[in-house]
């Protein structure tokens, strides 16, 4: 298995590592035929991207609404529609509960809250007695005893002119908002009066009196009369970093623990969408949530875009990740209209100036001063400081057609001319090779695009077989962002085998992180019971988070990063073996990563030039499992162990990499 410049380094190392300490040599006898791993921690090393490890977020498998976005009400603004899913309508997730009164619930659009939010519910109580209107959340609302939940909704009084009996009533209409269990036990309650004929936002904090995983929000009207209702929202008070309109704290923290250096968002295929009208338009996703323009996404979900550009940028800032938004290259997904590959629609050229202006506006919104038109909107949303946007993805896995090339070139040249500080990232199709890959690279070469986005989902063996892929990439050409990758094992499970193949590949990316600047596993999130793409990095339910073994690999590489790659080589070519050595120049810490994908333990003799400048005891972290076919199963014993312990080191020391393992040895400066 070739490591970087192995033979050249081996020539140097035979001299440099000639002296073994007796103590280290004595311990060697414990192992039979160790492979020697030479690491030169005294070398300056090769400067690499310190930002290699990042994340890619796409609203797939309920990643956003019902997932990371902490909103607990499903279909909060009555905009679900049959266009999105045949079984959906404006009242999906809502239910009318007979509680003694008689009346009806309907949908109207005559006097909407906002043109972007056209539908609302109309609730009429015709005969006095309770009429309840309940929302089930995303498969139940999980509440915890003593926790506080922020309820808000827009309402307006209807029929004050007396629609049924001519009797005008100006009396306020009382409404009770409750959290209830399925059997009707009240967990929290707040009372409102609906009196205004115009839309008014009402709010209250509900404190749950008991735990429940499948509570619902129940709105109870008793008096005769009617009211309109829209944008019914319920958030846990505790969100990630206590942000309003924020993110689920446990999921967001699990993502933050990856220590991602960047976040690509909001997709994927959903960015270029199902035809031109379904482009993800960033301007539709900012401002008050009730004024955002919701839309289906091509994966079959409803996007409230409550998790919109402001929230994405804020999350990036909260977790220390560079924002990397992706915009459509003014062409739609080639699979638009379920065509399976020929449905790419190109924005009319007459619309391109306005489209490019939207791109400029995005850059101004992210980076402009508060005195600028779009910077002022960012400030009004609560972020006067610029977000510091540096990267912009244009296009996603697009079919490289003449229409694409023309539009990509227009956007790219315009951004380059007006905003040379922004690095545009182009796209080279959905595969590691093939027609779109070749054409995409040809275009990038022609335009001298600074970076291109490669994607591939391949077998674990493919990753092992391609560890040298980037060793020969031309460093004078575009840099690479490996924007989507995952090892797809049999039945697309998140097995230890797939995780170790990814770990091995990551060592090769680290070695080549002078040309591969960013890399992100895909997809990031998937909700149990709503998983429409496998495998994913993190699974979750309404109450639990289930990181995969592959997640642990990503986390270990994210936590143990560096900005210089050090010479590392073996004196033989062991099967299923990969390693890398990084230095973090800010701290001087050296990190070794060793992947043993074999079924037997691998005895190693490490020859560490420069050991004297490092602490004599390192931190050893090992991820290992007995069965490479194993995957984590919810609620079952973990098939892998993840342990950390001290490891004495010297200029030569022995270490046995367990079967099916990833080892991280962190050598700090004393
Ligand atoms: O990651 C899932 C999907 O895979 C992305 O949306 C798309 O870019 C790729 O085909």
Q: How close is the Cα of 285 to the center of ligand 1, in Å?
A: 21
Tell me, using a 6 A CB cutoff, whether residue 393 lines ligand 1: no
Tell me, using a 6 A CB cutoff, whether residue 255 lines ligand 1: no
Residue nearest to atom 6 of ligand 1 (CA): 268
Tell me, using a 6 A CB cutoff, whether residue 522 lines ligand 1: yes
Q: What percent of the chain has pLDDT over 70?
A: 94
Residue nearest to atom 7 of ligand 1 (CA): 268
Contacts of residue 474, defined as CB under 8 A and 6 or more positions apart, other chains included, come to none
Q: pLDDT tens digit string along 612-668?
A: 999 999 999 999 999 999 999 999 999 999 999 999 999 999 999 999 999 999 999
Q: How much is the pLDDT for 24?
A: 29
* pTM recorded for the entire structure: 0.94
Which residue stretches of 401-548 are H helix?
A: 402-418, 435-447, 460-465, 496-511
Q: How much is the pLDDT for 31?
A: 37
Overall average pLDDT of the 572-598 stretch: 97
Confidence of residue 341 (pLDDT cuts 50, 70, 90): confident
Q: How much is the pLDDT for 618?
A: 98
Which secondary-structure segment (H or E) carries 134?
A: strand 130-135
The Cα angle at residue 494 between residues 467 and 69, in degrees rounded to 5: 110
Place of tokens 């690479």: 480
Tell me, using a 6 A CB cutoff, whether residue 118 lines ligand 1: no
Neighbours of 569 (CB within 10 A): 24
Answer whether 109's CB lies under 8 Å from 78's CB.
Answer: no
Q: Residue 21 above 60 pLDDT?
A: no
Residue nearest to atom 2 of ligand 1 (CA): 523
What is the distance of C-alpha 461 from the center of its chain?
26
Q: pLDDT tens digit string along 514-524?
A: 999 999 999 99
Tell me, using a 6 A CB cutoff, whether residue 267 lines ligand 1: yes
CA nearest 416: which of 368, 363, 379?
A: 363
Tell me, using a 6 A CB cutoff, whether residue 558 lines ligand 1: no
Atom of ligand 1 lying closest to residue 397 CA: 8
Q: How close is the Cα of 533 to the center of ligand 1, in Å?
A: 9
Q: How much is the pLDDT for 163?
A: 58
Q: Which residues of 182-214 are buried (b: 16+ CB within 10 A; e: fewer)?
A: eeeeebbbbebebbebebeebeeebbbeeebee
Q: How much is the pLDDT for 11?
A: 30
Per DSSP, 136 falls in state -
Least confident of 122-131, 259-268, 504-513: 122-131
Q: How much is the pLDDT for 94?
A: 98
Residue nearest to atom 8 of ligand 1 (CA): 268
Tell me, using a 6 A CB cutoff, whether residue 268 lines ligand 1: yes
Tell me, using a 6 A CB cutoff, whether residue 269 lines ligand 1: yes
* Arithmetic mean of pLDDT over the chain: 93
Q: How close is the Cα of 128 to the center of ligand 1, in Å?
A: 53
Q: Residue 28 above 60 pLDDT?
A: no
Residue nearest to atom 3 of ligand 1 (CA): 268
Q: How close is the Cα of 270 to the center of ligand 1, in Å?
A: 8
Least confident of 145-154, 339-348, 430-439: 339-348
Distances (CA, A) of 669 to 50, 602, 636: 19, 27, 40
Q: pLDDT tens digit string along 91-110?
A: 999 999 978 888 999 999 99
Atom of ligand 1 lying closest to residue 396 CA: 8
Q: pLDDT tens digit string along 102-132?
A: 899 999 999 999 999 999 999 998 887 889 9
Q: Residue 29 above 90 pLDDT?
A: no
Q: How close is the Cα of 268 to the center of ligand 1, in Å?
A: 5
* Cβ-based burial of 579 (10 A; exposed 0-12, middle 13-18, buried ≥19): buried
Distances (CA, A) of 268 to 5, 183, 280: 35, 41, 10
Annotation says 476 is catalytic? no
Confidence of residue 22 (pLDDT cuts 50, 70, 90): very low
Given ligand 1 and candidates 268, 297, 486, which is best to mutate, with the most ligand atoms within 8 Å of its CB?
Answer: 268
Confidence of residue 162 (pLDDT cuts 50, 70, 90): low
Atom of ligand 1 lying closest to residue 457 CA: 4
Q: Residue 377 above 90 pLDDT?
A: yes
Overall average pLDDT of the 607-615 stretch: 98
Q: How close is the Cα of 247 to the center of ligand 1, in Å?
A: 23
Tell me, using a 6 A CB cutoff, whether residue 535 lines ligand 1: no
Least confident of 168-172, 185-189, 408-412: 168-172
Query: CA-to-CA distance for 611 and 41, rounded, in angstroms?
Result: 7
Catalytic annotation, pick one of 124, 231, 364, 397: 397
Query: CA-to-CA distance for 273 and 606, rounded, in angstroms?
Result: 51
Given ligand 1 and candidates 56, 271, 397, 531, which is best to mutate, with the most ligand atoms within 8 Å of its CB?
Answer: 397
Tell me, using a 6 A CB cutoff, whether residue 266 lines ligand 1: no
- The SS3 of residue 394 is strand
Per DSSP, 534 falls in state S
Q: How much is the pLDDT for 360?
A: 99
Q: How much is the pLDDT for 32?
A: 61
Query: CA-to-CA distance for 127 and 129, rounded, in angstroms?
Result: 6
Q: Residue 591 above 80 pLDDT?
A: yes
Q: How close is the Cα of 32 to the center of ligand 1, in Å?
A: 46
Tell me, using a 6 A CB cutoff, whether residue 533 lines ligand 1: yes
Q: How much is the pLDDT for 23?
A: 27
Q: How close is the Cα of 279 to the center of ligand 1, in Å?
A: 15
Atom of ligand 1 lying closest to residue 269 CA: 6
Tokens at residue 17, please? 């590592």
Residue nearest to atom 4 of ligand 1 (CA): 268
Query: CA-to-CA distance for 209 and 206, rounded, in angstroms?
Result: 9
Tell me, using a 6 A CB cutoff, whether residue 260 lines ligand 1: no
Overall average pLDDT of the 263-271 stretch: 98
Given ligand 1 and candidates 61, 395, 453, 484, which is best to mutate, with the most ligand atoms within 8 Å of its CB?
Answer: 484
Q: How close is the Cα of 252 to the center of ligand 1, in Å?
A: 21
Q: Residue 17 above 50 pLDDT?
A: no
Least confident of 8-17, 162-171, 508-517: 8-17
Q: How close is the Cα of 269 to the center of ligand 1, in Å?
A: 6
Q: Which residues of 24-45 are buried (b: 16+ CB within 10 A; e: fewer)?
A: beebeeebeebbbbbbbbbbeb
Q: Of 2 and 237, which is predicted with more confidence?
A: 237
Q: Residue 6 above 50 pLDDT?
A: no
Atom of ligand 1 lying closest to residue 533 CA: 2
Atom of ligand 1 lying closest to residue 430 CA: 10
């Amino acid at each position: 298995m070739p490591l970087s410049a192995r033979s050249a380094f081996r020539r140097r190392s035979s001299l440099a590592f000639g002296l073994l300490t007796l103590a280290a040599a004595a311990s060697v006898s414990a192992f039979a035929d160790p492979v020697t791993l030479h690491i030169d921690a005294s070398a300056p090393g090769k400067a690499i991207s310190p930002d290699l490890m990042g994340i890619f977020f796409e609203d797939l498998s309920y990643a956003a609404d019902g997932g990371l976005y902490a909103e607990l009400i499903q279909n909060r603004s009555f905009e679900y529609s049959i266009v999105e899913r045949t079984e959906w309508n404006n009242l999906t997730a809502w239910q009318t509960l007979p509680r003694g009164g008689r009346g009806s619930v309907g949908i109207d659009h005559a006097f909407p809250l906002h043109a972007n939010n056209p539908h609302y519910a109309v609730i009429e109580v015709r005969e006095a007695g309770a009429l309840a209107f309940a929302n089930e959340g995303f498969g139940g609302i999980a509440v915890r005893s003593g926790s506080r939940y922020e309820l808000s909704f827009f309402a307006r009084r209807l029929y004050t002119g007396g629609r049924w009996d001519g009797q005008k009533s100006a009396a306020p209409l009382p409404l009770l908002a409750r959290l209830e269990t399925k059997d009707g036990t009240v967990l929290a309650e707040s009372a409102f009066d609906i009196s205004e004929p115009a839309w008014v936002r009402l709010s209250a904090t509900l404190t749950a009196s008991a735990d429940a995983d499948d509570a619902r929000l129940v709105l109870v009207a008793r008096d005769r009369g009617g009211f309109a209702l829209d944008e019914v929202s319920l958030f846990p008070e505790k969100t990630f970093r206590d942000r309003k309109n924020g993110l689920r704290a446990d999921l967001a923290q699990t993502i933050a623990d990856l220590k991602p250096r960047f976040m690509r968002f909001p997709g994927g295929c959903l960015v270029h969408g199902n035809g031109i009208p379904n482009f993800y338009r960033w301007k539709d996703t900012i401002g008050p949530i009730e004024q955002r323009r919701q839309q289906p996404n091509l994966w079959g979900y409803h996007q409230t875009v409550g998790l919109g550009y402001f929230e994405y940028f804020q999350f990036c800032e909260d977790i220390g990740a560079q924002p990397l938004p992706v915009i459509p290259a003014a062409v739609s997904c080639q699979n638009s209209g379920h065509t399976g590959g020929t449905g790419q629609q190109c924005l009319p050229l007459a619309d391109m100036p306005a489209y490019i202006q939207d791109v400029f506006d995005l850059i101004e919104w992210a980076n402009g001063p508060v005195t600028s038109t779009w910077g002022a909107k960012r400030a009004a949303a609560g972020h006067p400081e610029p977000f510091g946007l540096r990267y912009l993805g244009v296009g996603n896995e697009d079919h490289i057609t003449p229409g694409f090339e023309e539009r990509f070139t227009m956007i790219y040249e315009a951004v380059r001319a007006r905003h040379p500080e922004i690095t545009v990232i182009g796209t080279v199709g959905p595969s590691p090779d093939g027609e779109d890959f070749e054409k995409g690279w040809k275009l990038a070469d022609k335009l001298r695009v600074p970076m291109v986005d490669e994607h591939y989902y391949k077998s674990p063996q493919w990753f092992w077989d391609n560890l040298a892929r980037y060793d020969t990439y031309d460093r004078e050409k575009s840099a690479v962002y490996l924007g989507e990758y995952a090892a797809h094992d049999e039945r697309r499970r998140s097995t230890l085998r797939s995780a170790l193949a990814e770990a091995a590949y990551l060592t090769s990316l680290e070695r080549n992180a002078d040309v591969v600047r960013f890399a992100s596993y895909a997809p990031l999130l998937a909700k149990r019971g709503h998983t429409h793409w496998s495998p994913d990095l993190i699974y979750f339910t309404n109450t639990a988070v289930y990181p995969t073994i592959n997640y642990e690999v990503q986390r270990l590489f994210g936590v143990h990063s560096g900005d210089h790659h050090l010479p590392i080589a073996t004196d033989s070519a062991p099967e299923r073996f990969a390693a890398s050595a990084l230095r973090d120049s800010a701290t001087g810490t050296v990190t070794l990563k060793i992947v043993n994908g074999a079924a037997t333990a691998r005895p190693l003799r490490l020859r560490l030039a420069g050991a004297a400048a490092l602490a004599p005891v390192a931190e050893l972290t090992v991820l290992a499992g007995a069965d490479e076919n194993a995957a984590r199963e919810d609620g079952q014993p973990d098939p892998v162990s993840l342990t950390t312990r001290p490891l004495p080191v010297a200029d030569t020391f022995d270490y046995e990499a367990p079967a099916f393992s990833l080892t991280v040895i962190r050598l700090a400066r004393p």
